[in-house]
Amino acid sequence: MTILLREDSDHIATLTMNAPERLNALSDDMLAALHDSFDDIADDDTVRAVILCGTGKAFCAGHDLKEMQAGRQAPDGGAAYFKDLFDRCAAMMQRIQTMPQPVIAQVHGIATAAGCQLVATCDLAIADDETRFGVNGVNIGLFCSTPMVALTRNIHRKAAFEMLTTGRFISAREAQELGLINRAVHTDALPRETAEIAQSIAGKLPAAVKIGKQAFYTQAQMTTAEAYAYTGDIMVQNMLVDDTNEGISAFLEKRAPDWS
């Protein structure tokens, strides 16, 4: 069975994690498949937006604990395997934010530990209102230190620290209030709501979205003064794009833009 499915339609690529018996855990194979697919899509000019979802009962239950336990059998107790695993996971997560197309998580069931990290890492997230989110590794003695990186860049620190130290799950509504997801919707509306956002993005000038996504994450790491200096240069870069000139002209002339 293919562990990750891809379907393209109307400039939107849908990636479906397809390991329902493992709750779409981030196994070695799943990490590799996701990273490879993100690399492929990043180089595909026909794709303007990406939807990431999962089959079965869960969006993603985090790392594959059975594989991790098997890694302990190495002479070093698994140290080298664990370091490689978390490095590979971090590289895959960061690839989401460096690829030019926005990635939208379509979340259902549960998103736990590194699965919650995956939601926090995606550029946008829409969830079934029955979904539960948690960074609950502490419940089994493994603090979610790497998921913490993405989580604390999405929600308030005290809320993140409570989730990390208590292992408490939060509802989709609470996740929306905290800023982990964009919105929580009824189960029947989830695919439609996600598709509408993807279609809206796909209808924009790809060059502008690419420039903007890169700038969004870059300026977030800067001081205010640095960010204004940097984004001023980015605005100049965007203004010099031929299709941007066409888009502005079309707006002023009250017509649809004729983008190349």
Delimit the domains of the chain by residue range: 4-202, 206-252
Tell me the C-alpha distance between 152 and 107, whole Å: 19
How many distinct helices (H) and strands (E) make up the chain?
11, 9
- In sequence order, the β-bridge partners of residue 63 are 26
193-205 pLDDT per residue, tens: 999 999 999 999 9
Q: Residue 147, class by beta-carbon neighbours within 10 Å (0-12 exposed, 13-18 middle, 19+ buried)?
A: buried
* Per-residue model confidence (pLDDT) at position 259: 87
pLDDT < 50 stretches in the chain: none
Tell me the C-alpha distance between 183 and 178, whole Å: 11
Residue written as token pair 């259902």: 108
How many percent of the chain have pLDDT more than 90? 98
> What CATH number matches the domain at 206-252, 1.10.12.10, 1.10.3720.10, 3.40.50.920, 1.10.357.10?
1.10.12.10
* Per-residue model confidence (pLDDT) at position 260: 77
Please state the φ and ψ torsions of residue 253, each to the nearest 5 degrees.
Answer: -90, 5
Looking at domain 4-202, its CATH architecture is: Alpha-Beta Complex (3.90)
* Per-residue model confidence (pLDDT) at position 174: 97
The helix-helix angle for 79-98 and 114-121 (nearest 10°) equals 20
